Amino acid sequence: FCFPLLMEKLSSDITDAKIDSLLTLSSCLEEYHSNYLVEHLEPLWTNCSHLTGSDVKLMRQCGRILQAVAQATEPACHRIIDWTFPLLLEQLTQDIEVSHKKNIIHIITNLLRAAKTFHRHPADSPLIKYKEAVSTTLFSFLANWSSTLCSVTVECFMVQLLVEHVTSIVLGSKEASLSHISSAALSQLSRNYPAIIISTVLPLLEMHLKAEEGSAMDIDNNQPLTTPVSHQCVLNTLGALCMDESIIHEVIPRLIEHVQRLCNEMNSHKDFQSQVCAVFQCILNIVEGSIQKGITSAAYFKQSLVPDIMKIVLKSALSDPKERTTGAISKDVLDTIAAILRTVTSNLDIEAARNLLEDFVGIYLDGNSSFLQETVDKKCLQFESTSPWEQTQLVSLLTATLCSARREVTVPRHSELIPRLQQIACHCDYSRSAESGAQCLAGIINKLPEGDELTSVVNGLVSKIWQVSEKEGSLKRATITWLWLTKALVIRSHPLAPLFIDKILSLLVDKNVGRAAGDGFYIIMADYEEVMSIKMHVNYRMMYRQRLFMETSPKLIGGFHSAKPEFKHHYLCALSHLLQWIPKQVLLSEVPNLMPLLVQSLSCDEQSLKLSTLQTMYSLVLDAPEIISRQVTSLVPMLLGLTKFQLSMKVRMEALKCLGALTTLPHHVVYPYKTKVCKALADSVDDKKRLVRKEAVKCRNEWFLLGSSVR
């Protein structure tokens, strides 16, 4: 009795009545047996012709009926799709309203879902013949200005199809911007569909990685893929995909295998070293991003990444010189690997970090590589100052690990490590190894617990560091080691820190290392990412920079006045580095005493000193105008001279910035120099460097406007 009534209502001229009838029929079709429907099929199909009408409400309800019928049987699904898809696709190509297109896409989406219930494998699907037409039409809507149309289009896409298409854009587009946008799209898809990314995208990217110079080779039939892809593009895409833990677990082993293949090819690529470095940079980005976003724990990388990296490094460092692939232990590669180790270690819990440190110390002191699941000959791994540079430079990886663990983690066997590190720092001829040894030594000292043991260790180092040999550079290495130890003690405000500072001050009058001692205040004051930073869990006390400045600046000023002329610039360098890192409040309180020295620093030959002084001077012009005003007579000629300093573009630019800032001083102070400055800046406006010319024009305009109403 129900169907005749519904069919009668369906023939009504009232839209709401039609919609009610269609909604009821749609629900009935999912429940009632098909026998009840046979005699009403013809009028029902006739009323479903609303698919081609302009009534949006009726169209949607007809679509629901069609979906219900398509879900009934496989033959019905075939018939419905073959009948409706040509009509729907034809309408999408017409100039109709967005709401109309949106409803058509909704109907297509529902029919796709109905087909999926019968056809799990794409080859058997009735949709195959319409795949190209549907894809082309829908992709044209992805760039539409209407966000709602884009949304329903994305919803309509079969994710597999979308992933394949976007991947083809990434690997085939010559436009960098389009490739970047497509890579970002894959990154978003990887959050929700990691399994599809693993099965569809990763194999393609791996093919490209395996191919020489980035152009992929099909492993099965040995036919080249159509488009060569840059090595860096593949790596960027792999990094972008790592938005799910399961993907990361697939990508990391692939990247490690890729590095191993590159190393085994014995430098056959002309850009071998850059490729190895790029792979490790990709791994670093994945490690940092996944840990920061909470996708993967540092413990996973400790277990599955660190041992493989160390195998590659040790194999390269310990191999026969004739067979060695130096790209795996080049400076850039080791720096990147060190960053990976720092990131992993600094994010490990106490127990995991302790285990990792014990493993590393075992490698360096005993040659025990059991945690690598690979034997390294104890006799080959020499951790001495006289060892080959390929091996001693690996101390940078030890530094990255030991000095980045949490403060609660005591460095294992530090009593054995400290003398070894001191020997490398002070007596190794390879400067990179020596400085890394000094950094590692300082990092250990910084985190040792307070007490008699620490005092005893530091006193022991005091007596050993200055036992220098006659070899060239020995005194400088001792000085660098002393500077890093000073930093370790100053940061934690250790009672022995003043002893170390006084020693540095005494070295300022040494003709061999005076300059190194002056520049050493940069080491003490600056922030270093690789060691003794907040992220690396440094042991520090607040305001240590201010305390050091207040205690040291009077000694530097006094030493400057009493020193011989050839040593005065050492004191100025030291003072300049101190000023660079202290807060403005502290600086302003000391400006009256420091100003004569700053002015004199501008006439020194050292470029770095000129640059840092100009930067300080610029801040003072804005923050202490009354003090700078007293020095204008000497400052203006000096700054004008520095605008023509040909040895450094940066010095010329900073001098122009300072000159421009002088126009903010009281009018009566600077106006008398207007004509002189504007005339002298004519040369700078014609400087050979564009950035200097730009700064010169800005500065000259400021001086031209002095005294005008425009200003």
Q: What is the pTM of this model?
A: 0.74
Q: Is the pLDDT of residue 143 over 70?
A: no
**Other CB atoms within 10 A of residue 179 CB:** 20
Q: Cα(274)–Cα(280) distance, rounded to whole angstroms?
A: 10
Q: Which residues pair with 217 in a beta bridge?
A: 224
Taking the C-alpha atoms of residue 631 and residue 592, their distance in angstroms, rounded to an integer, is: 11
In order of 586, 591, 660, 665, the CA distances from 626 in angstroms are 17, 11, 17, 8
Residue 346 confidence (pLDDT) above 90: yes
More confident residue, 35 or 110: 110
Vertex 238: Cα angle to 233 and 244 (nearest 5): 155
Q: How confident is the model at residue 225 (pLDDT cuts 50, 70, 90)?
A: very low
The CA-CA-CA angle for residues 240, 218, 244, to 5°, reads 20
Q: Quote the mean pLDDT of the chain.
A: 83
Residue 120 scores a pLDDT above 60: no
- Decide if 363 contacts 344 (C-beta within 8 A): no
Between 585 and 483, where is the model more confident? 483
Plot region of 403 (φ>0 → left; ψ -120 to 50 → alpha; else → beta) = alpha
Cα–Cα distance list, 69 to 25, 35, 66, 87, 409 (Å):
11, 13, 5, 17, 67
pLDDT digits (tens, 9 = 90+) for 263-307: 876 555 567 788 899 999 999 999 999 999 999 999 999 999 999
Which pLDDT belongs to residue 112? 81
In the chain, what are the domains?
1-157 (1.25.10.10), 382-578 (1.25.10), 583-710 (1.25.10.10)
Q: Is pLDDT above 60 for 472? A: yes
pLDDT one-digit tens code per residue, 144-189: 556 667 667 766 666 667 787 788 888 877 777 777 888 888 888 8
Q: What is the percent of the chain where pLDDT is above 70? A: 85
- Whether pLDDT at 226 is above 60: no
CA dist list (Å): 275 to 239, 330, 471? 15, 12, 38
Positions of E strands within 131-215: none
Q: With pLDDT > 90 as the criterion, what percentage of the chain qualifies?
A: 37
- Give the pLDDT confidence of 7-32 residue by residue, as tens digits: 777 666 676 777 777 778 777 766 66
Q: Are 574 and 609 in contact (CB under 8 A)?
A: no
Query: For the CA atoms of 74, 76, 81, 82, what is the dihedral angle to 10 degrees?
Result: 110
Task: Kindly tell me if the per-residue pLDDT of 73 is higher than 60.
Answer: yes
The pLDDT score that the predictor gives to residue 336 is 94
